[in-house]
Structures are given as structure tokens and as C-alpha cells.
Chains A and B, each alone.
Chain A
């Protein structure tokens, strides 16, 4: 009977961990996607100072908010996005206004996919 209790507790803990990881992932990726939208708006309004400020902030926020992602996600999935995120303020500083929107769109798309990666959807399960 003791072993059955251990089994049930283990399954409950795993289920809890799954819910927590999905919540953490969705919550943080949604926040980061919102930030990319803000950066895009500032960029479209030609407010380069604010865009630069938001891009710098975005890099810091990304590092902070994806700190626990490698606990349950492939490290390469996170580091691949990080490489692109770091490029954003550098592109702005260098005045490369042609590539910046494309890089920003790529980051948003990658974050969007990352947010769905842990969801128990059929396409992820199968």
C-alpha cells in the first residue's frame, strides 16, 4: 500500500510540475512577445531613443525570464533565441534599420513557438 501511495504522490508531483512549467513558459513568453510589440511600435513611430531603451531592456528581461527554461526545455531551443535577442540593441546602435525589423519579427516568431513547445497539443505530443 505504501508503494501505491508513493506512486500516486509521484504522479501528482509530476502533474504539478507539468502545470507549473507550462504556466511559467506561457507567462514569460507572452510577456516577452508583448515587449517585442512595444519595440516594434516605438520603431514604427521613429522613436529610436525609446526603441534602443526597450531593446536593451528586452535583452535583460529575456535573460531574467528564461532563467528556469533550461530546467525542462532543450538548452539549444533557448540559446538559439538568445543569440537573436542579443543582436537587437547591437543592430540599433550600428544604425542598421533594414535588418532590425526582420530580426525583431524573427525573435517574436521564435518566442511564439517556444511558448507552445510544452503545451500538450496533439502536434507536440505526436
Chain B
């Protein structure tokens, strides 16, 4: 039993390193070939965990080879469009200028029900509202609505607000978040000054978000669980 436990720990660490090297793609955004590799790795890792009579290397070596091949394949796909097309295919236009291409649907082996389901998931309940529908290489459906069905933006009504950037976390659980500070161009000194003004030590901060315009939101530990939070 100890052997199984130790082997599991080794494989667990190994898988984390392997996935880290493979990169940050979300599961839903995987290309079919990447999805297959991910499933294969999980399967390969499970076998030497359960079978102590099998050398650990017999599980680890295929994972190393798969990860390496996957990295080389993705590098090649980035270098060559032709290779990318060969491995991942091309996006297929299902609706063009509001007209449904039934041949494209057949090529994709998609039924109209499947297509409608994908549209509904994107808040489009009427196919007539779509100007373009494209089946992407990762299997997702992209929809571009007709001009009269597109939502109004601030640009359309000429009332564009100033760009304050997205609020990001600058302090989390009493600790400064460097990437957040860097993203909104703030310094630790600025954060400390704001906290000093609020008479709140850093260790008492549960969450602090800020944006480029130095607008911030502060949530103290004592405010959590209640409707707390302070703005400048």
C-alpha cells in the first residue's frame, strides 16, 4: 500500500509539471488533438498508480513523449498555417449573409437542432438574427448578428467613457499581488498609503481591487460574510 501511495505522489507531481509545461489552454478551447492527448495522459497516469508490478517509467515515459510531441506539434502549427490546417482543419461558415449552408452542416455532421442549441447558448434564439455562423476548429460555434440585431455600444451613442481599465486584485488575503499592481500601474507604496488613510493594516485586508484611474474597492477581513466593502 505504501508503494502505491508513493507512486501516486510521484505521478501527481509529474502530471502537474507536465501540464504546466503543456501550457495554459482551457479545456473547452482545446483542439481535438490536444483533447485526445490530455485524455491519454490521464489514462496513462492511472495504470502505474494501480499496478505496482509495472515499472513507474512505463507510465512516465509515454507521458513525457506525448507532452514533447504535443509541444513540437503546437510549435509547428504556429510556424506553418498549412500544418495547422492539416492537423486542426479550417473554420467552416455555416451561415453566410444570413443564408444557411446545408452542405456545410452535412460536412460538419451537425443537425439543425445542434446548431440551434449552440445559438441558444449564445443568447440567440432566432436563426434569422444571425448574419454569420462559423464552426471553429475547436468545435465551438461563433455567431455574428445582423446589424439591426447587434447591441448598442457607447460608441454608437457617442458617449464613450474614459478608459479606466479593468479592476484587478492588488491585495488578496493580506498580501500584495504584484501582477495586479503592475497591470494597473500602481505601487506598493500607493496601496499602503490608501490603507493608512483608511486606518487598515495590510494584514486586515481580505480583498482590495483597483484600476488604472486609482479607483479602488477595499474589503476588510471583519467585513467578510456581511455586506461590507469600502470605496475611496
Contacts and interface: CB of A to CB of B under 8 A. Distances in A.
Interface of A: 3-4, 6-8, 10-11, 13-14, 17, 70-76
Contact of B55 (A10, A11, A74): A74
A7 B72 contact: yes
B71 A70 contact: no
Interface stretch (B56-64, B132-140, B160-168): B56-64
22 contacts: A3-B21, A3-B23, A3-B75, A4-B71, A4-B72, A6-B21, A7-B67, A7-B69, A8-B72, A10-B65, A11-B64, A14-B68, A17-B61, A71-B57, A72-B57, A72-B58, A73-B55, A74-B53, A74-B54, A75-B52, A75-B53, A76-B53
Interface of B: 21, 23, 52-55, 57-58, 61, 64-65, 67-69, 71-72, 75
Contacts of A6: 21, 68, 71
A42 B201 CA distance: 87
Nearest to B70: A7
Contacts of A71: 55, 57
Given A7-B75, A71-B57, A72-B55, 12 more contacts: A3-B21, A3-B71, A3-B75, A6-B71, A7-B69, A7-B71, A11-B68, A72-B57, A73-B55, A74-B55, A74-B58, A75-B52
Most buried by B among A6, A7, A14, A71: A7
Contacts of A74: 53-55, 58
Contacts of B61: 14, 17
Most buried by A among B23, B53, B54, B68: B68
Given A14-B61, A17-B61, A7 B68 contact: yes
A4 B74 CA distance: 9
Nearest to B74: A3
A-B residue pairs, 7 tightest by C-beta: A7-B71, A7-B68, A10-B68, A75-B53, A4-B75, A11-B68, A3-B71
